[in-house]
């Protein structure tokens, strides 16, 4: 996977690139293809802000984190993305989806009418 890492204020070293790549490899274990992940690193008053945007087949993930230490910010960002990815993956199987009543509303009403007509005849 090719990760687009950009920064205007910090030079991207190989160790930073490896740390980000290792964190994104953990996201790939969920068997969901990550399409064109982009990471942006900026500095803001002694804090490092890191943002990530990942496209998925049916959606998009975005997370950001700010911390004084870059490696801590990368780890926090990875945890946020993992939570979003798990939510995205488990959403169709969620309990609230079965209780929403949408399946009941989508059932054809014509079947009920045809059975009432047969009983009347």
Nearest Cα neighbor of 74 from 8, 2, 25, 1 is 25
- Ordered by start, the domain boundaries in the chain are 4-120
15-29, 49-63, 103-117: least confidently modelled range: 103-117
The domain 4-120 having CATH identifier 3.30.160.100: the answer here is yes
Exposed/middle/buried for 39, CB within 10 Å: 0-12, 13-18, 19+? buried
Q: Is residue 29 scored above 90 in pLDDT? A: no
Using pLDDT thresholds of 50, 70 and 90, give the confidence band for residue 99. low
Q: What is the pLDDT of residues 40-63, one digit of tens each?
A: 999 988 899 999 999 988 889 999
Alpha carbons 34 and 1: distance in angstroms, whole number:
8
Decide which of 36 and 113 is more confident.
36
Q: What is the mean pLDDT of residues 31-48?
A: 90
């Amino acid at each position: 996977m090719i990760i687009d890492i950009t920064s205007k204020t910090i030079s991207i070293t190989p160790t930073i690139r490896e740390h980000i790549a290792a964190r994104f490899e953990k996201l790939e274990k969920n068997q969901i293809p990550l399409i064109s992940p982009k990471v942006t690193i900026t500095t803001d008053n002694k804090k490092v802000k890191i943002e990530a945007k990942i496209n998925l087949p049916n959606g998009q993930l975005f997370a950001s984190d700010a911390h004084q230490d870059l490696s801590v910010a990368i780890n926090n960002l990875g945890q946020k993305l993992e939570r979003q990815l798990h939510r995205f993956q488990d959403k169709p199987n969620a309990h609230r989806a079965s209780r929403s009543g949408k399946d009941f509303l989508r059932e054809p009403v014509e079947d009920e009418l045809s059975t009432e007509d047969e009983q009347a005849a």
